[in-house]
Amino acid sequence: MSNRLIHEPSPYLRQHAHNPVDWYPWGDEARERAAAENKILIISIGYSSCHWCHVMERETFEDQDAAALMNESFISIKVDREERPDIDAHYMNALQLITGQGGWPLNIFALPDGRAFYGGTYFPRDRWISLLTALRDQHRTDPGRLVEYALRIAEGIGDFKKNLLEPSLNVLETRSLEKAVEEGRRLFDLKRGGAKGAPKFPMPVWLRFLMAWSRLKGDGEARDFVLLTLDRMAGGGIYDQLGGGFSRYSVDPDWKLPHFEKMLYDNAQLISLYADAWKWTGKRRYARIVEQSMAFVGEFMTSPEGFFYSALDADSEGEEGRYYLWREEELKQILKEDFDFAARQYCIGEEGLLEKGQNILLLPQAPSEGSQDERTLEKIRRLLKGHRSKRSTPGLDDKALISWNALMIKACADAYDALGRKEYLRAGRRAADLILRECRKDDGTLYHAWREGRPYIDGFFEDYAYMAGALISLFQSSGQTVYLEEAVKLTDKSIELFYDPDHSVFFQHLRRRRLSAEGSGAEGQRPSFTQRSGGSQSLPSLPSDGEEPLRRSG
């Protein structure tokens, strides 16, 4: 059994192609049917490597009773947030107005014209069925109440956008940067690095800014904070100590336990960050992070043509993190006389111990460069990596996004500049040449995505901006002026397509796509369901949390 999603290029949508839910991809067909049949839209947004998206699919969207209720009383749409960042951003704004927080899976309930009136993130099966039943009954008895919710949320989104368009400083002044540093300093976790609390995200843009600031102003506290964060991330479970590459974030404050998905955009920016840190400090561990992470991208996230894939899943064989975790007895059998040394280095049975006897490998202190301990640990790393390669690998999202590829192209140039390895520059140039040849139309406009031998979806501003930046980096690294010339062309095209001179801002997407993403109702017009008489029923409460963290004990 399959639904309409079987024909979509997105790996995430195809993951749902065999659900009993009568899914539609985003488009006019679903909204027109909802209007014709007077039904609520369910707009469910996620991405292929999202752990809680998988959980909700298994628990809820594969359940026959939940699917029957969705099919009978609703029109259901699945959206890949990576393919359509415009749709995701719009409905994330709506969710944050409703709940004060966000996350994925992002599940929105909307009028047939797309205006949201209710939403949440992860719902277990029973709660989902209860919610759908309440909304169905509300729609039957008092649809005007849902319309009022939609109007209030649309008004809130409108106010948010107006605030964004308010005039701002035309010149970036030093005092503005000082204020940003002062405000950010309140968030410094001076014990563990990163921002205080949990979950912890790497936030490479913030760290690169602080790195530049500390060099510019001689700010010792900012320098110490950046280096602390780099060291703690490099030694934590968020970093794959065997194969290189970073997971998306850590659910705890110690960088220990990640959600195990690996995203191209994170790793690209972190490669650039650690390359800069190596040039800044000369600390060999940072160069090793760059080398191992570049090897990871080359092994797992590079297509035969030379594009860079989007993501590796958190799950394998139906379990999150299975590919990366180890039992102590397994390690003893593999390492034999080297086990005790590995246990000390990787904190096996100590800080690295999780629930059910599983260990995540940590490396809080790397051995000294050139030491016997370093050679022994490298032998152990290669041995364990070889054994791990026999496991079922996490699922791969093999679409190439132009914006994320551009970040990785820049990372290739940055890694080459730092370490001088020509294969890094070749990989970046190969990807850039492919994009300019295969993912650009005759009129100079870019596509957003590529998969299965063809480009698709018109490009967003991020595709143009990141690609222009990547081409400038390639020009600086290679000296080939053609890359600078192509960067100028893309910059000119982005100004033509996305710049709003009235407000001096660039929009993320084209005007025609803005309307389709935000609902077709005219501004100020009252959307409506067919009105029926009846009493009022309160909507059920939303979940108190967004994407729920895994709860493991050490």
Distances (CA, A) of 79 to 13, 46, 389: 7, 7, 32
Selection from 265, 298, 322, 257 nearest residue 85 by Cα: 265
pLDDT at 501: 86
Determine phi and psi for 11, rounding to 5 degrees.
Answer: -60, -35
CA distance 57 to 70: 13
- Residue 241 · residue 362 · CB < 8 Å: yes
Q: What is the pLDDT along the chain (554 residues), one digit of tens a residue?
A: 799 999 999 999 999 999 999 999 999 999 999 999 999 999 999 999 998 999 999 999 999 999 999 999 999 999 999 999 999 999 999 999 988 888 999 999 999 999 999 999 999 999 999 999 999 999 999 999 999 999 999 898 888 777 766 765 556 677 888 998 999 999 999 999 999 999 999 999 999 999 999 999 999 999 999 999 999 999 999 999 999 999 999 999 999 999 899 999 999 999 999 999 999 999 999 999 999 999 999 999 999 999 999 999 998 888 899 999 999 999 999 999 999 999 999 999 999 999 889 999 999 999 998 999 999 999 999 999 999 999 999 999 999 999 999 999 999 999 999 999 999 999 999 999 999 999 999 999 999 999 999 999 999 999 999 999 999 999 999 999 999 999 999 999 999 999 988 888 888 887 544 434 444 333 333 344 443 333 333 444 433 333 332 322 23
DSSP 470: H
- Residue 459 · residue 445 · CB < 8 Å: yes
Who's near 171: CB < 8 A, 6+ residues apart?
none
Cα 477 versus chain centre, distance: 28
Q: Encode 304-330: b = buried (16+ Cβ within 10 Å), e = exposed.
A: eebbbbbbbbbbbeeebbbbbbbebee
Who's near 258: CB < 8 A, 6+ residues apart?
237, 238, 247, 248, 249, 250, 251, 321
Who's near 304: CB < 8 A, 6+ residues apart?
none
pLDDT of 196-230, one tens digit each?
999 999 999 999 999 999 999 999 999 999 999 99
CA distance 264 to 444: 25
